[in-house]
Amino acid sequence: MVITEEADRIGDRLAEIRSDFHKRPELAFQEEWTSRRIAEILRETGLDEVHTGIAQTGVVGVLRGNSPGKTFALRADMDALPIQEENDVPYKSQNDGMMHACGHDVHITAALGAAMILSKLKDTINGNVKFIFQPAEEVAGGAKIMVEEGVLEKPPKVDAIIAMHVWPGIDEGTIGVKPGPAMAAMDKFEIIVRAPGGHGAMPHLTSDPVVAAAQIINSLQTVVSRSIDPIQPVVFSVCMIEGGHAFNIIPEEVRMVGTARTLDEGVKAKAIERVKDILKGIGEAMGVECQFNYMDGCPALINDPEMIGLIERAGTAVVGDENILELDPTMGGEDFTHFARSVPGAMFCLGVRNAEAGFTSPVHRSTFDVSNRVLATGTAMMAQAALMYLT
């Protein structure tokens, strides 16, 4: 069997599956219908085992090959985003305020398609394939819980894992790879500025946390531009600010919340210390108290070089060597890193951009969409990589 030909042959079925999931998006840890439907399809496909209720709504399927061997895992995330879809398409979201705006419907479909193909090749597989359908990627929670619940350790124990992400930055028919640091750690920080407050007409009688907050926001940009090596990617973004309740009252408190993104632990530690220095200096200079809370989120995704090599070999078979692109790291985050830190793992990017057909929207937007043409490519990539690893 030629994997690409089989993926093309089941193309209509893949489109149907993707349409069903896109119509019925569900938010993190609420993927009840999604997980039931995934389990139904896996059972119809003839997998040896199908387990549900993992990390609340996660699903795991196991395909046992013809002879003993290693276990290769394919991971797909399942949750949608709290976005109202604006696309006017037959498969438009039917769940108000929810949308698969990050391509997880495509990820699910590709993993299910791979299960369909690999189940027909069971007699040629030396080892096992474990299909992991993970909840709650968008809140960076599902992968960690699945790992803690032993999804990689419970028999058959996983030896290696890969995942896929749709990527509107590269064209349909291409595959993007990045060995080593590929996606950033996604952390959260909170800064609370406190002062006595007072009358807006008499600022000299008080300290002003609003003005101090403005100074802090501007000064935070110097952490990136003046405190960190310019070749080291760092992002410090204040994304929310709240304080005050009247036009003529200087408030007693201003709260800022944001995200920090880094690829290197040493750079992260230096950036945190520099923020603390800035807050101390501004606090003393402006007579305010600055509280800094830093919450570690998901660590940076470090792609295993050998797994990237496997993906490149699979990509050569599926799209041709000339269509494999090495990408720069992105400061976006992915909780797949919890899997990839437990066993050798890597994530690749599936090109979905098609300017002529109008598929150009970035992810996490109400207009995001992809052509069903990419489903066969994603399916073939997942199946080909598994087959190469286990034969």
Q: Report, as residue numbers or ranges, the catalytic residues.
A: 79, 137
Q: 172 with 97: CB under 8 angstroms? A: no
Q: Where is 254: in which H helix or E strand?
A: strand 253-262
Place of tokens 């286990």: 390
Q: 260 with 236: CB under 8 angstroms? A: yes
d(CA 57, CA 79): 10
Place of tokens 């920090």: 260
90: left (phi over 0), alpha (psi -120 to 50) or beta: alpha
> SS3 of 225, please?
helix
Instruction: List CB contacts of 199: < 8 A, sequence separation 6 or more.
Output: 205, 206, 248, 249, 250
Q: List the Cα angle 181/183/186 in 5-degree steps.
A: 120
Q: 113 with 14: CB under 8 angstroms? A: yes
d(CA 192, CA 241): 10
